[in-house]
Structure 1
Amino acid sequence: MYISSLRIQNYRCFEDTRVEFESGVTVLIGENNSGKSSLLNALRLIFEGGGARSLELYDFYRGIPPSSSPPSISITATLSSTEGEDSPEELGTVATWLSEVGEGEWEAKLTYHYYLPDDQRDEFEEQVGDDPSEEEFWRAVERALPKYVSRIDAGQPGTEEPGYERVEPRDLSAFGVNSLDAIRNVEREMFSGRKPKLRSMLDTVLQEDADAKQELEEDASQLVDDLRERIDLDILFELAEETGAEDGGTPDIDGRLREKDFLKALRLVVDAGAGGTLPVTYNGLGYNNLLYISLVLAGLRTETVEEVGPENATVFPMLFIEEPEAHLHPALQFKLLKFIHERVQKEEGSQQVFATTHSTHITSATGLDSVVSLSKNQEGDITPSYPGRVFEHMEGGDGQESKAYVERFLDATKSTMLFARGVILVEGISEQILIPTLANACGHSLEDEHIAVVGVGGRTFKHFLPLFGGNLENRSPSLDRPVSCIVDADPARRQNGGQYKNCYPYQIDNQEDEFEYRQQSGVVQTLQQYENGNPNIQIFSGEKTLEYDLALANPGLESLVTRQCVHAEALQTLAEEGTAGESLQGKIDGDVSEALDGLEGTHQEAARFATYYLECIDGKGEHAQALNLNLREVDTDYDVPPYIRDAIAFACQ
């Protein structure tokens, strides 16, 4: 079995939100204050302590409109069957909670309520009156808070809340919740407190061998006797008689050591090789985090029916990890989530892991099916989206092919699109490097506005756009954020039905009797199908390429010329004086030169500079890096190509 959904009403940032989960591992992503931690707390209210924890005023959703009725909180968890893999113990746990039963499938519901009892409602209504202000309403709620009660009910919720069958805390003892909070001190949790994790784990895995146990206890008894003989009791109790303490009996010492007492003496150490062993407290925080998580994972399946009996067994263990990336190197973050996935898949029986993260390395280690993205819609409500599901609804294409492509290339760099408020998809390295600087020139800080610039390659845009609702048969849950696609126009022409070859925009239609022309590449035309009917996606292209269009908009800007440009001095002269020397003229053929000569005035000057500039770029990546530095240092204003400006504005809306 597994928790298949959670409906949260009037709790913290959730007005009424239903979140669905897959079995195994769920990775919750989203901006700060998007409800990730609150969702885990909602699960804890049901499964950890049976709803016994008291809530506070600010646990109520603050958007509840003032009224004469006291507010309430409701959280419903749906447990579902797992394709015939449920054990008899699991079925026995949920047997009386079933809300739906089908052929080989079932659902059970648990609902946590936090409410003001009926016999207290009249007093509340008298305090707030018929039309209370927001301040009066919440002040009355705060006064009534000590009278609020909580309970958990099972079965199908009815029209009255609460209702149906009540669940007692002991009924939930089969659910084991292990939590690793975002701000954690793993050294303290492993070694300190009334029940440190290390000791409880050692106790759990201690093999019960009756003969070995008896032999150890005999040795321990002899050890206690030897120690007792070394103690001078006369010195210890010499004042007992004078104080009258012996009137109550002669004092002596005795004791017995059990196996569990020896566990308290064991310490976790790290083998430092030639340096011997070191206390684990000398280990780094990151490695101690991993060590602690490994202990918790190892313990998820130790309290089974076979080990502790049916009454004490944990039938459905759960692990909540907030920000597993804490103190971990990126490579270790990836390795940790990969390990957790493999561990959960290999284990027999049901168990579920929920993790919240801001790390792209974590999401790159997990499949899209495990990711749930929480974000605020335009009305300010928290809404979930499921990146792994959208590919099932693609029109006229192989959704599984696109899904496999995205998962294969969803590395730490491309995973930023899952976290960002807006996304700019680009073709190559030049755009990735230059777009943030061009955005600054437009008055936008992509960093401050949480906009991700992701290079996906010209022919692979189509695989990523379904994540944002592109080319889907219906408005299935997708990542609801603006996506700008910046694509090279790459005009081209072909002769006698042959292959299209790139040309310059001013060559379009100037030899119609010899050539067939295409003003924009096939990539642009394909992507426009994803744009149609989807407000999240827009396609932006210029006249040819980013470098050409930037030079076309700034024909006199000397900062465009870098050391990676061949004939750099001649380009500088062209920018300053408008004159192209012989070295530049040799870079273009007769058709291009003739088309340029056919242009007029300033348009000819701009197109001539842009053409020679593009032809002189040697190594786009190196040139883009040098150009980026130049543009950051340029004192004068320069013009950002209109399509780039529009793309940035759309993503930042």
Structure 2
Amino acid sequence: MHIKALHIKNFRAIEDINVDFDNRVNIIVGPNAVGKTTVLEAIRLVKALLFPRTQNESMQALFALGAASPHLPQQITIPALARNPSTPVVISIRFELSKDEITWLENSVPIIARGIIQGRMGQAFSNPTTLINFLGTPQGQQAIEAAQKEVNSAINDSKNDGRQCRVELTISPMTGPQSTDNPVWPTLLAMLDQRHPPGLTSFSYFPADRALPQGEQPVQLGMADAQAQLESHSSQPQTKYTRLKNTIFSAMIMSESGREELTAEFERIFQGILKGRRLKGFGLNHIGLLSILVEDTETGRTFEIDGMSSGEKGLILTFLLIERSVAQDGLILLDEPELHLNPAVCKDLLSFLVDGYAVRKNLQVFVCSHSPEILAGAFDNDECSLYHLESELMLTKVRRQDHTVIAEALRRLGTSESEGLLFNGTIFVEGIDDVSLLEAGFSSILRRYKIKDLGGRREIEKEIKQLQDAENRGTELSSRYFIFDRDELPTDLKNTKSTKILQWERRCLENYLLDIDILTDLFMNSEVVKNPLNNLGEVQKKLRELAFGQLDDFVAKQIYSRYQYIDPGIRATEIQGKSLNNIAELLHERLLKIMNQYSTIDESNWTSDFLKKCSEERQNLTSVWEAKWLNECDGKRLFNEICQKVQPKMGPKKFKIRVMNEMRLKPSENWRAINSLLSDLLAKNSETK
């Protein structure tokens, strides 16, 4: 029973998505709170309402979603399910059955027909005697024949359609939940699951909410345990994690083969993913408590399974249950398997799941994950498909492409293509403190974006151009935004569909922090700075003096750069892959150019000429800076220098963050200016989608 297509409309965070699935393991990724778990919950809700395994499953699923209450179980709260409460929720699933499942259905038509009749007749036929008496009547025989005909017709239609079938759940504010497709298939799918013993299921949900037990746990056997197992598959999936010891001891006690299978399964897990561990034994310890002993193979230390981390215990239980409780050809929903696990374990998790279970047992697995290690593994495994939930309207498959060149360019940018799938986009900034400043001031609009520090710009622009060239050739890339300081280097990069460029209108981000009113309040506060200033005028004077003190540096750099003297240094990109003869020729040619250039220098007049040009440039810049020094000065340098004078009772970085927070709370004009620029930058991407 594998899912081939899914359509979700107006369900919780999802507005309308339609997607086909073509692989055993399907990884769903996307930013936080976009609706990844909602996709799993939609599948679970269809299962619970249309073909439940237990009597409680339908209500338990609604309870878990907050759509019903134990006090009023028949009253469904539509706003808990619907994105728009005034329109119906529609969830349809197209399944593909295995050959064994089709064969079982064909051989079980009489049993299925009786189940259909009993279900349609309602509570009056819940008593076996009443059902038997009815089926013995002519009307009962006619009902059996009609039901068998329906079942055979549905099975034949499925065989002619590649063993596929479709079910659809519609939840309307007026009529409540209804099956709005072929009415026979929910019963057939329910029968496929109900044929298994209590400890086995065709459908199992592993939620992200996990409460693992500590210490002694009561172990049940017989009917009570069978019922608990049934409920844990899908009706109350969170109870799986409280059954760790019960699962182990039930297998140990029931049969000798169970002990052997359990030991083999522990060895599979320890050798495959939790390396460095070994099952030492299980039984009762010297004080009569149930004990499961694990050995650290490196140190020889033996400890109780309770001594393992939550992530390790969760992983053990997950794979034990997949092996012991999920039937051949089954379906698994697995939400955030990486919880409480370090990246080294996550790196092997997907391949272990695929090779050890999905392929061997022909399972279909849906995984929601935030782990870059799991995402990277999905790109490299032919049994896996990666799906990106971009928004409430778009769940799309990530195409496999030749990303060799792109991956190298992204690596040099300090990111990866898989990281781009976890967020709405990645924002690269130039200043070393810019990440903290933007997160402090604009978390409301940047919360679904990853912000990273570029650490420079000259070489980075080459990598960006390489990405844009690949995009122009048709390669699909996730969104990336580059925010540059203005400095003296206006960028010539242009926006593309996936790569957006913003250059601050002021020299750097710190220039926007030069908010005189905010700084005056802070610089006059003795609780904030050690050397407080007296008034607004003194603050303005100090800042202006420090800013104009930068003019000589600016002028000297600008005038000297106009001489365009050749740098004699070796450029790595020029000599890479060349022979020594070619390198020598290149360097010799450069030295000759330098000699020719230096021969034109008038040694007696160079200094006076340089000073004259600097004086003229300084005079021109001074008139500009009189009106625009807050925008044109080096804001980073100015903040460092003013902090040395007033000495904030915190580091310069924390002081900048304090200024940004004050600007946000006010909010000041400078904060509004940054907010407008960021909003425009991010809006450009949404317009291209």
Structure with bigger helix share is 2
Matches within 5 A, 1:413-492: 417-420=420-423, 422-426=424-428, 428=430, 430=431, 433-438=433-438, 440=440, 444-445=442-443, 449-455=447-453, 457-461=460-464, 484-487=481-484
Q: Which amino acid aligns with 2:678?
A: I
Residue 110 of structure 1 is matched in structure 2 by 166
The reply to whether residue 632 of structure 1 matches residue 603 of structure 2 is no
2:103 counterpart of 1:77: no
Residue identity opposite 1:75 in structure 2 = S
State the distance in 1 between where 2:170 and 2:47 align.
Answer: 15
SS of corresponding position for 1:318: strand
Query: Secondary structure, in 3 states, of the residue corresponding to 2:7?
Result: strand
- Relative distance call for 1:208 and 1:362 in structure 2 (3 A) is closer
Partner SS state of residue 92, structure 2: strand
Q: Write the distance in 2 (CA, Å) between the matches of 1:644 and 1:331.
A: 39
Partner of 2:368: 356
**Secondary structure in 1 aligned to 2:331?**
strand
Give the aligned partner of residue 177 of structure 1. Answer: 203
Mapping of residues 11-160 of structure 1, within 5 Å: 11-14=11-14, 16-30=16-30, 34-45=34-45, 50-51=51-52, 53-54=57-58, 56=62, 57-58=76-77, 61-62=81-82, 73-79=90-96, 89=100, 92=103, 106=162, 108-113=164-169, 138=173, 141=175
CA distance 1:385–1:401, shift in 2 (3 Å): farther
Q: Structure 1 residues 107 and 438, CA, compared in 2 at 3 Å: closer, same or farther? A: same
Residues in 1 aligned to 2:45 and 2:635: alpha-carbon distance in whole angstroms: 62
Residues 25 and 344 of structure 1 are in contact (CA less than 8 Å); yes or no, is this contact kept in structure 2?
no
Distance 1:645-1:32 versus aligned 2 partners, 3 A rule: closer
Number of residue pairs aligned between Structure 1 and Structure 2:
468
Q: Which of 374, 388, 397 is matched with 1:373 structurally?
A: 388
Q: Is the 2:252–2:258 contact (alpha carbons within 8 Å) kept by the matching residues of 1?
A: no
1:321 is matched with 334
CA-based RMSD? 5.8
Offset of residue 321 of structure 1: 2.0
Superposition deviation, residue 170 in structure 1: 2.3
Amino acid corresponding to residue 483 of structure 2 in structure 1: I
Q: What is the percentage of aligned positions where both structures have the same residue?
A: 17
Counterparts of 1:191 and 1:282, CA distance in 2? 19
* Partner of residue 396 from structure 2, selected from 386, 403, 410: 386
Alpha-carbon separation, structure 2, partners of 1:166 and 1:355? 27
Report the Cα distance in structure 1 between the residues aligned to 2:316 and 2:25, rounded to whole angstroms: 20
Does 2:248 correspond to 1:198? yes
2:91·2:169 contact (CA, 8 Å) conserved in 1?
A: yes
Q: Does 1:269 align with 2:293?
A: yes
Aligned equivalents of 1:631 and 1:607: distance in 2? 21
Deviations 1:428-453 (A, max 9, x none): 5x36x31441565xx52358743321
- Cα 1:577–1:384, aligned 2, differ >3 Å: closer, same or farther? closer
What is the aligned counterpart of 1:293 among 294, 315, 318? Answer: 318
Q: Deviations over 1:41-65 (max 9, x none)?
A: 3333566793454255246853567
Aligned to 2:271: none
1:146-172 deviation per Cα after TM superposition (whole angstroms, max 9, x unaligned): xx6659xxxxx6xxx647896252234
Amino acid at match of 1:373: H
| Compared CA separation, residues 99 and 201, structure 1 to 2 (3 A) | farther
For the 8 Å contact 1:587–1:615, the answer to whether it is kept is no
Judged with a 3 Å threshold, the aligned counterparts in structure 2 of structure 1 residues 32 and 629 are, in CA distance, closer, same or farther, namely closer
Q: How does 1:240-259 map to 2 (within 5 A)?
A: none
- Equivalents in 2 of 1:5, 1:410: separation in Å? 37
Q: Which residue of 2 aligns with 1:510?
A: none
Pair 1:591–1:446, CA change in 2 (3 A): same
Match of 1:245 in 2: none
For residues 536-589 of structure 1, give each alpha carbon's deviation from its aligned partner in whole angstroms, at most 9, with x where no partner exists: 86421258xx86675699699999xxxxxxxxxxxx999527246988877665
Structure 1 residues 300-311: aligned runs within 5 Å: none
Please tell me whether the aligned partners of residues 3 and 21 of structure 1 are also in contact (alpha carbons under 8 angstroms). yes
> 2:434 aligns to what SS in structure 1?
helix
Partner of 1:235: none
Q: 1:606 to 1:416 in 2, by over 3 A?
A: farther
Distance 1:408 1:332 in 2: 22
Paired residue secondary structure (2:209): coil
TM-score (norm 2): 0.51
Residue identity opposite 2:501 in structure 1: I
Q: Is the 8 A contact 2:16 2:393 kept in 1?
A: no
Q: CA deviation at 1:39?
A: 2.5
TM superposition shift of 1:329: 3.7
Instruction: Give the Å deviation of 1:316.
Output: 0.7
Q: Which residue of 2 aligns with 1:252?
A: none
Match of 2:131 in 1: none
TM superposition score normalised by structure 1? 0.54
Secondary structure (helix, strand or coil) at the match of 2:337 reads coil
Instruction: Tell me the secondary structure at the aligned position of residue 443 of structure 2.
Output: coil
Other-structure match for 1:8:
8
For 2:304, the equivalent position in structure 1 comes to 279
- Give 1:599's aligned residue: 620
5+ long unaligned stretches in structure 1: 81-86, 116-136, 152-156, 210-260, 304-313, 377-381, 393-398, 491-503, 506-518, 560-571, 618-624
| TM superposition shift of 1:423 | 3.6
Out of 560, 565, 570, the position equivalent to 1:590 is 560
CA distances 1:160-202 after superposition (whole Å, capped 9, x unpaired): x647896252234587223322223444899845154324655
Cα contact 1:424–1:651 (8 A) shared by 2:
no
Gap change, CA 1:648 and 1:583, over 3 Å in 2 = closer
Shift of 1:319: 2.7
Distance of 2:84 and 2:553 partners within structure 1: 73
CA distance in 2, matches of 1:165, 1:553: 62
1:370 shift after superposition: 3.8
In structure 1, what is the Cα distance between the partners aligned to 2:412 and 2:351? 16
Give the match for residue 113 of structure 2.
none
Q: CA deviation at 1:295?
A: 1.7
CA distance in 2, matches of 1:14, 1:551: 41
- Cα-to-partner distance string for 1:593-618 (whole Å, 9 max, x where unaligned): 7474473444357999999959999x
Offset of residue 26 of structure 1: 2.4
User: Is the CA contact (8 Å cut-off) linking 2:96 and 2:164 kept in structure 1?
Assistant: yes
Counterpart amino acid of residue 491 in structure 2 = Q
Secondary structure of the corresponding residue to residue 170 of structure 1: helix
CA deviation vs aligned residue, 1:103-136 (integer Å, no higher than 9, x gap): xx94612314467xxxxxxxxxxxxxxxxxxxxx
Of 500, 512, 520, the residue aligned with 2:491 is 520
State the secondary structure of the residue aligned to 2:203.
Answer: strand
Q: 2:255, 2:207 → 1: CA distance? A: 25
**How many angstroms apart in 2 are the aligned matches of 1:408 and 1:89?**
47
Distance 2:252 2:166 in 1: 34
Rounded Cα–Cα distance in structure 2 between residues aligned with 1:204 and 1:410? 57
